[in-house]
Structure formats: C-alpha cells, structure tokens
Amino acid sequence: MIRTLISFVFASLALTGATTAQAAGDPAKGKATFAQCAACHKADATGKSGIGPNLWKVIGRKAGTLPGYAYSPAMKAAGKVWDDKTLDPYLTAPAAAVPGNKMPYAGLKNPADRANVIAYLRTLK
C-alpha cells in the first residue's frame, strides 16, 4: 500500500513537472509553428490585420476588441481575456471554445505546439 502511494506521488510529481515545462513553451519553436497561422494573422506592431485580427499584444487583450477588425458577434461577446488559460482551449478547438466565431481552423492538437505558440505570442509586445 505504501509503495503504491509513493509510486503515485512520484508519478504525479513527474506529470506536474512535465505540465509546467510544457506550459512555459519555447518561443522560437512557437514562431515556427505560428507560420501556419500567419496565412491569416499578422503579428506586428503596425496593427494592420489580415483575414484574422493582428495578434501583436494579444496577451492581455480582451477578445473581440482590436480596433478596426470586424469580429463575429460571438467573439465580441466571448468575455475572454487572452492568456495561457484562455488561448490553450481556443487554439485546441476554436469552434468549441467560442461557438459561432468566424475562424475556420480545426485547431492545433499537439499540446507542446500550443504551448510554444502561446510562448511566442507572449513575446509580441
């Protein structure tokens, strides 16, 4: 019983460490993964948007509020502020995270890729 408990604790700690490391992400790898997002999203200080809104300074921004971009009513009403906790489920499955949004993207399924993209987005300030 004690061995089982000790094994469980060590396994839990190992998983927690992996999750924490994953949550940190790698901005350089994220920039490379973001290349697929760049087909629709600009990420520069000009503030100009493409098909999707410009993602410069997206971390900390309230969803649906970038001036000059025509957001869907669903995104305007989402009530989210973009950070690690809100971006991860959105990047996983945009249609499920904000039903009715207009982003036609199935989602980024790999958790490490999402963590890396989010780490990259944190550098855009």
pLDDT at 89: 98
What is the rounded CA–CA span in Å between residue 124 and residue 107? 21
pLDDT at 23: 60
Q: What is the pLDDT along the chain (125 residues), one digit of tens a residue?
A: 444 333 333 344 334 444 444 468 999 999 999 999 999 999 999 999 999 999 999 999 999 999 999 999 999 999 999 999 999 999 999 999 999 999 999 999 999 999 999 999 999 99
Contact by Cβ (8 Å): 44, 54: yes
pLDDT at 45: 96
Domains of the chain: 26-122 (1.10.760.10)
Helix residue ranges, H only, 25-110: 27-34, 73-76, 84-92, 94-97
- What b/e sequence results for 18-47 when a residue is b if at least 16 CB atoms lie within 10 Å of its CB, and e otherwise? eeeeeeebbbebbbebbeebeeebbbeeee
pLDDT at 6: 38
Instruction: Enumerate residues 6+ apart whose C-beta is below 8 A from 69.
Output: 49, 53, 54
Contact by Cβ (8 Å): 100, 73: yes
pLDDT at 15: 41
Residue 28 three-state SS: helix
